[in-house]
Structure 1
Amino acid sequence: MRQALHHLRVRVPGRGLIDISDEVHAFVREQRIDTGLLTLFCRHTSASLLIQENADPSVRRDLERYFATLAPEDPQRYEHDTEGPDDMPAHLRTALTQVQLSIPVEHGAPTLGTWQGIYLFEHRQHAHTRDVVLHLIGE
């Protein structure tokens, strides 16, 4: 049994879904682990991880609009606004999604479906550098 750990730094321009699939696939490929389990962990409270359709960009736009209705930026609505009006809505959007993914690895690759991609879902308006920890265990 072997394991590998990597910190993937993701520069995000602001709110939106950033496809990190290529970087994740490259990490798994480099480890030469044929069968195992890949865990991704986002080390932030205002960004999250999603597995979502990678073919039609309108899916990502619809997701962003939907989350804007679930957790709108409304200064009258929230007490917490330490980092601005997008602060608390970003925390809510993270709470409604996930900061950790587990993906089986088979034949040296994540077992994603044909139309699935791995996304960092940035919930803040401004540019950030996010840290996603990749941990692969297997043989």
Structure 2
Amino acid sequence: MRQAATEITIETSGQGLWECTGHVSDWAADSGIVQGLLTLFVRHTSASLLIQENAAPAARRDLEAYFARIAPESDAYEHDDEGPDDMPAHLRSALSATSLSIPVAGGRPVLGTWQGIYLFEHRRAPQRRRVALHLIGE
């Protein structure tokens, strides 16, 4: 059994879904591990990770709009240390995932035809998000 680990940085220009499938897939292929399990973990409390539709931009826009409705910006939150989008960003992270586990076969993440790996940025300002990757296998 072998292991490989790294950290990638995803630069965002604000809220939305930022696809990182290619970067993650390239790293997995370069690891030399052909079969195993890939874990991704976002190291922030106001961003999350998703596997989502990667062909139709409308699906991503609808998802972003849904999260804006269920965790809107408001002056009703006590926690607003970093501005009005601070607490809604934490709520959106709590309602989504901070880690993903993806099987690897043939040196590539096993994803469906229309699936992509996304960082879901919940803050309005540009951010530099760190995502830890760990691959274990043979």
Q: In structure 2, what is the Cα distance between the partners aligned to 1:25 and 1:109? A: 6
Q: Which residue of 1 aligns with 2:130?
A: 131
TM-score by length of 1: 0.98
The TM-score normalised by the length of structure 2 is 0.99
Q: CA deviation at 1:32?
A: 1.4
- The correspondence of residues 12-27 of structure 1 with structure 2, limited to 5 A, is 12-27=12-27
Query: Which residue of the partner structure matches residue 54 of structure 1?
Result: 54
Q: Secondary structure at the match of 1:132?
A: strand
Alpha-carbon distance between aligned partners in 1 of 2:89 and 2:45, rounded to the nearest angstrom: 8
CA distance in 2, matches of 1:64, 1:110: 25
1:61, CA displacement in angstroms? 0.4
Write the distance in 1 (CA, Å) between the matches of 2:68 and 2:11. Answer: 22
- 1:33: which partner in 2? 33
Q: Count residues with an aligned counterpart.
A: 138
The list of structure 1 runs, each at least 4 consecutive aligned residues, that deviate by more than 2 angstroms after superposition, is none
1:73-108 Cα shifts (integer Å, max 9, x gaps): 011x21100000000000000000010000000111
One-letter identity of the residue aligned with 1:89: P
Structure 2 partner of 1:87: 86
Structure 2 match to 1:9: 9
Deviations along 1:101-130, one digit per CA (max 9) or x if unpaired, are: 000001111000000000000000000100
Give 5+ residue unaligned stretches, structure 1. none
Structure 2 residue identity aligned to 1:122: E
Unaligned runs of 5+ residues in structure 2 are none
The separation in 2 between residues aligned to 1:29 and 1:67, in whole angstroms, is 33
Task: Kindly provide the CA deviation profile for residues 8-40 of structure 1, in whole angstroms up to 9, marking residues without a partner as x.
Answer: 001000000000000000000101111100000
